[in-house]
Structure 1
Amino acid sequence: MNQEQERKVLKDQNGSKVRYRILWILNDEHLNGIALSITEHLPKYQAYVKNLKKNNFTAIGYARESPGEEHQDVRVGLLQKMVKKLYDTLLVDKVFVTISSRANDTITSRDTSGKNAQLTLLNQVHGNTQDLLGYISTSENICLVAIDFAGLSTNTSDLYDFILAHGSIKKIIIDLSASTGFMKYYNRDDIIDNPSILKDFDCRKPCYKRS
């Protein structure tokens, strides 16, 4: 659990100062999910992605941050952690980032005002959402990877239209390892035939941190 340590100072019965720290631990539900992710689901996922690449797929990572008042260093730091996870753990080939957009914003409307200066502070990033759109429009066999549903979109109708309009997107994978230990896999043909599959993305509860 990513939690800043809290230091406290109390006095004992003799009036001496006693220092202690609050220890945060995961509950059993989340602990079991992380254990499964490390020992079972993650290796299967990585083998799956490696096999896709052998079959001429390109794994594209996408990271998103919602608008907020946090300092630039904090926002960039959070996004950089997501980028690192997408490369190191989720084995993507390229990463595209939107610095500030809401999860239910239409994908094609993101970053239309130009490139945010904060984008240049990130390492190993190939551009923003508009750059992603340009890349997939000239590519084939794309597997799009995001960290949790909100990391991509919670607007199911727009997501369906986005997939329908871009035939190069053959697969979507959502990493839920931080919350459930699982990965969710979606095939283009299944989505086109049955749009209700995307109901998973219509998440109303608060989403887990993606970094």
Structure 2
Amino acid sequence: MSTSKNKHLLTHGQAACLVLDLIPTIANRQKANDIVDNGYFAVIYTEEHGPRHPFAMGKSIVQKNPFTYKSYPRTPPASPKLSPSDTTADINLDNSSDDNESDSSTENSSTYSLQNLLAVTKSVFMKEAENKELFDFACYTTTDIYDSVKKQLPRLPEYAGVMKFGKLLKDQDFGPRMTIRVDGKTTKGRMLYKLRDSAIGNLMESAAAFRAEIANDDGNWISVGYVRKSPGNESDEKRRILLNKMIKKLRDRCLCQHVFASTSSTSSSSINERDFEAREGIIANTLDHCDGDTQDMIDFVGHSLKKVRLCVISYAGLSNDSDDVSKLLKCCKMIKTIVVDHDSHLESLDRHVLLHGDKNRIKVFQSRAGCVRRAT
């Protein structure tokens, strides 16, 4: 088989499946094409890595850099000659074509699962928002919310109608429904912050790129989440609820396999010294899907044989002391990337860049403007 990086070995549908973490069946390839065609990101590759390593990038960025980012053909290439060492997976990929007439009713993917629909909805609609300039606050009916989610998942009507979708919208997540008058007519809706379309684009682009990064990590990486709650006057029960929300957020959005928590610490405290002494209050490993406290995280990362992708919510969710972040990275050498969830987008910070690159890069952890709400 030719090993030239310039030779197309995947169709657009096959590449999109790899990016979206779907099995490249005929039905899934069509679905992946639809998602990409109606979304904010493109599926491309570079000459450096070749077409066997697709990833997602914002369409506007791709249009501005046509010589850097290469696109995939919609129709399959001529079948390559296979050597005995080629795998069955290669045969299935290279000799199959994108069939636009496939029956979508047989598709079985997590993309349109109720869990994923709820996660996407929570990413766009929120009861509270810190960066209000990114949101529009208004009363939204179930149909309004459904139509907005449908823009991101265009085949939603095939999996759930408005009534079925509406059952996902619980008061605890989206607030109670209330009756209001619009244009002289009575209607029921929820007062919510809706992420503006421009910000949704950033979120979907970065989330897709992040998932593509995970899909192409060759199993040599592990995503570890870390949440922190500052000391406060709220009850233990309220604190537990907020911490559980943060843990769930990292599991849903950053796909963390393990999450650790500091149940009461300030952003300026030394990371390596947090939770070193037992305190009264909530014990981290009694939280939902929590693997322990800060010391447990340091021990886990220190003994990891895989590269670690450390995921946090906002810079302050880790620390507001850049020197302390540097100490953590030097202490835990397997932390290769810090992923920061900013609500509107996911930011990936490379270890080498933080420690050896522009000194201003790590200073994003230096200061904190106001209180950042991490449990939305």
For the aligned pair, the TM-score class normalised by the smaller chain equals: 0.7 to 0.9
SS in 2 for 1:35: helix
Please tell me whether residue 156 in structure 1 is matched to residue 322 in structure 2: yes
The percent identity for this pair of structures is: 27
Of the three residues 278, 291, 294, the one matched with 1:129 is 294
Deviation of the 1:31 alpha carbon: 2.2
CA distance in 1 between partners of 2:372 and 2:202 (Å): 15
After TM superposition, give the deviation of residue 168 of structure 1 in Å.
Answer: 0.9
Contact 1:33 1:182 in 2 (8 A): no
Q: Residue 73 of structure 1 aligns to a residue in which SS?
A: helix
Between the aligned partners of 1:65 and 1:163, the Cα distance in structure 2 is 21
Is 2:295 the partner of 1:170? no
Could you tell me whether the CA contact under 8 Å between 2:315 and 2:364 is conserved in 1? yes
Q: Determine the C-alpha separation between the residues in 2 that align with 1:184 and 1:116.
A: 34
2:140 corresponds in structure 1 to none
Question: Residues 116, 142 of structure 1: CA spacing in aligned structure 2 closer, same or farther, 3 A cutoff?
Answer: farther
1:46–1:116: structure 2 CA closer, same or farther, 3 Å change rule? farther
CA distance in 2, matches of 1:5, 1:205: 31
Aligned position for 2:349: 186
- Counterpart for residue 115 of structure 2: none
C-alpha contact 1:66 1:103 (8 A) present in aligned 2: yes
Report 1 or 2 for greater relative contact order, CA contacts < 8 Å, sequence distance ≥ 6: 1
- Could you tell me the TM-score, scaled by structure 2's length? 0.47
Q: Out of 275, 295, 301, which is 1:111 matched to? A: 275
- Map of 1:41 onto structure 2: 206
Match of 2:311 among 118, 122, 145: 145
Question: In the TM superposition, what whole-angstrom CA distance separates every residue of 1:98-149 from its partner, at most 9, and x where no partner exists?
Answer: 0000011110110011266522441111100000111111114111010111
Within a 5 Å distance, the mapping from 1:9-28 to structure 2 comes to 24-26=191-193
Q: TM-score, normalised by structure 1?
A: 0.81
Letter in 2 for 1:134: D
Question: Given that residues 223 and 308 in structure 2 are in contact (C-alpha distance below 8 angstroms), is that contact kept between their aligned partners in structure 1?
Answer: yes
Q: Given the alignment of the two structures, is residue 84 of structure 1 paired with residue 248 of structure 2, yes or no?
A: yes
Matched position secondary structure for 2:216: helix
The structural deviation recorded for 1:39 is: 3.3
Q: Is the 8 A contact 1:99 1:116 kept in 2?
A: no
Once residues 366 and 176 of structure 2 are traced to their aligned partners in structure 1, the CA distance between those partners, rounded to angstroms, is: 34
Distance 2:353 2:285 in 1: 37
For structure 2, the 5+ residue unaligned runs are 1-125, 129-174, 179-187
Query: How many residues are matched?
Result: 194
Amino acid at match of 1:94: H
Q: What's the C-alpha RMSD, in Å, of the aligned pairs?
A: 2.6
SS of equivalent to 2:237: helix
Partner of 2:51: none
Report the equivalent of 1:59: 223
Q: Which residue of 2 aligns with 1:2?
A: 127
Preserved CA contact (<8 Å) 2:274 2:294 = yes
Distance, in Å, in 2 between the alignment partners of 1:116 and 1:57 is: 35
Equivalent residue letter for 2:346:
M
Listed one character per residue, the Cα deviations across residues 66-108 of structure 1 (whole Å, up to 9, x for unaligned) are 0000011111101101111111221011000000000111101
Gaps of at least 5 residues in structure 1 are 8-20
Other-structure match for 1:17:
none
- Write the distance in 2 (CA, Å) between the matches of 1:60 and 1:40: 22
